[in-house]
Amino acid sequence: MRKNPFEFGKSFAAVVEKHRKKMRLSRTRLAELAGLHQTYIGLMESGQRSPNLGTAKAIADGLKIPLHKLIRETEGASDAR
């Protein structure tokens, strides 16, 4: 059965939120570090937006985590669902 592609976006958002909180970053601070608007981070974490590849890279850079590691963790999280 083919997975819903939007589930990956939701899983990615959960992984980002987990790392953001672990690093004790506010949504505003992560947005600043990623060069994004704080509203976008909130919309993504609430599942209302899914980042494109460039935005995902900016978020990973803001978290100082390689994008491939966030994707790998996301794949593991979405496989567990």
Is the pTM value of this prediction over 0.85? yes
| CB 27 within 8 Å of CB 20 | yes
Domain map of the chain by residue range?
5-80
Residue 55 has pLDDT above 90, yes or no: yes
- Please tell me the predicted confidence (pLDDT) of residue 3: 64
pLDDT digits (tens, 9 = 90+) for 9-52: 899 999 999 999 999 999 999 999 999 999 999 999 998 999 99
What's the angle, vertex CA 30, arms to CA 78 and CA 25, rounded to 5? 90
> What span, in angstroms and rounded, lies between the C-alpha atoms of 74 and 70?
6
pLDDT at 62 over 50: yes
CATH code for the structural domain at 5-80? 1.10.260.40
Q: How far is CA 27 from the centre of its chain?
A: 11
pLDDT given at position 8:
87
Give the pLDDT of residue 22.
97
